[in-house]
Homo-oligomer: A and B are copies of this chain.
Amino acid sequence: MDNWLPSLITATQTEGYDLAVKLSRIAVKQTQPDATMRDKLRKEYEADAGALIAVSQVVATHFATIALANNHWRDAK
Protein backbone atom coordinates (compact mmCIF):
# COMPACT_ATOMS: atom_id res chain seq x y z
CA MET A 1 0.00 0.00 0.00
CA ASP A 2 1.18 3.52 -0.72
CA ASN A 3 1.31 6.38 1.78
CA TRP A 4 -2.19 5.87 3.20
CA LEU A 5 -1.43 7.66 6.49
CA PRO A 6 -0.24 11.16 5.60
CA SER A 7 -0.78 12.58 9.11
CA LEU A 8 -2.05 11.87 12.62
CA ILE A 9 -3.20 15.49 12.90
CA THR A 10 -6.93 16.07 12.37
CA ALA A 11 -9.00 19.24 12.38
CA THR A 12 -11.57 17.91 14.85
CA GLN A 13 -11.97 15.24 17.53
CA THR A 14 -14.59 13.48 15.42
CA GLU A 15 -12.16 13.17 12.53
CA GLY A 16 -9.57 11.89 14.99
CA TYR A 17 -11.95 9.15 16.06
CA ASP A 18 -12.66 8.25 12.43
CA LEU A 19 -8.93 7.96 11.85
CA ALA A 20 -8.68 5.60 14.84
CA VAL A 21 -11.33 3.39 13.23
CA LYS A 22 -9.34 3.44 9.99
CA LEU A 23 -6.09 2.50 11.73
CA SER A 24 -7.79 -0.43 13.45
CA ARG A 25 -8.90 -1.81 10.08
CA ILE A 26 -5.58 -1.46 8.27
CA ALA A 27 -3.87 -4.11 10.41
CA VAL A 28 -6.63 -6.56 9.55
CA LYS A 29 -6.22 -5.68 5.86
CA GLN A 30 -2.46 -6.21 5.99
CA THR A 31 -2.82 -9.54 7.79
CA GLN A 32 -5.64 -10.82 5.56
CA PRO A 33 -5.13 -9.17 2.13
CA ASP A 34 -7.92 -11.17 0.44
CA ALA A 35 -10.93 -8.80 0.18
CA THR A 36 -13.43 -11.62 -0.36
CA MET A 37 -12.27 -13.39 2.78
CA ARG A 38 -12.39 -10.11 4.74
CA ASP A 39 -15.99 -9.52 3.62
CA LYS A 40 -16.91 -13.00 4.81
CA LEU A 41 -15.22 -12.46 8.18
CA ARG A 42 -16.83 -9.02 8.50
CA LYS A 43 -20.27 -10.62 8.18
CA GLU A 44 -19.32 -12.92 11.03
CA TYR A 45 -17.96 -10.36 13.48
CA GLU A 46 -20.69 -7.82 12.76
CA ALA A 47 -23.04 -10.33 14.36
CA ASP A 48 -20.75 -11.19 17.28
CA ALA A 49 -20.96 -8.94 20.35
CA GLY A 50 -17.54 -10.03 21.66
CA ALA A 51 -15.85 -9.22 18.35
CA LEU A 52 -17.53 -5.81 18.16
CA ILE A 53 -16.34 -4.96 21.68
CA ALA A 54 -12.82 -6.12 20.72
CA VAL A 55 -12.91 -3.82 17.69
CA SER A 56 -13.96 -0.99 20.00
CA GLN A 57 -10.93 -1.78 22.20
CA VAL A 58 -8.54 -1.45 19.26
CA VAL A 59 -10.18 1.84 18.28
CA ALA A 60 -9.77 3.10 21.86
CA THR A 61 -6.05 2.30 21.78
CA HIS A 62 -5.53 4.11 18.48
CA PHE A 63 -7.70 7.04 19.62
CA ALA A 64 -5.40 7.52 22.63
CA THR A 65 -2.43 7.83 20.27
CA ILE A 66 -4.21 10.22 17.90
CA ALA A 67 -5.56 12.37 20.74
CA LEU A 68 -2.03 12.68 22.13
CA ALA A 69 -0.68 13.58 18.68
CA ASN A 70 -3.26 16.36 18.49
CA ASN A 71 -2.53 17.58 22.02
CA HIS A 72 -6.10 16.46 22.77
CA TRP A 73 -7.33 19.26 20.47
CA ARG A 74 -6.96 21.66 23.41
CA ASP A 75 -6.00 24.56 21.17
CA ALA A 76 -9.10 23.94 19.06
CA LYS A 77 -11.66 24.08 21.87
Tally A residues with Cβ within 8 Å of B: 56
The one of B47, B49, B61 in contact with A57, judged by C-beta atoms closer than 8 angstroms, is B61
Q: How many copies does the complex hold?
A: 6
Q: Contact between A21 and B14 (Cβ–Cβ < 8 Å)?
A: no
Given known A13-B7, A56-B58, A72-B8, contact A46–B67 (CB-CB < 8 A) = no
Interchain nearest-CB distance for A4 vs B (Å): 6
Expressed in whole angstroms, the Cα–Cα distance for A38 and B8 within the complex equals 30
Most chain B CB neighbours (cut-off 10 Å) among A26, A56, A58, A67: A56
Within 8 A of B (CB), among A1-49: 1-9, 12-14, 16-17, 21, 23-28, 30-32, 37, 41-42, 44-49
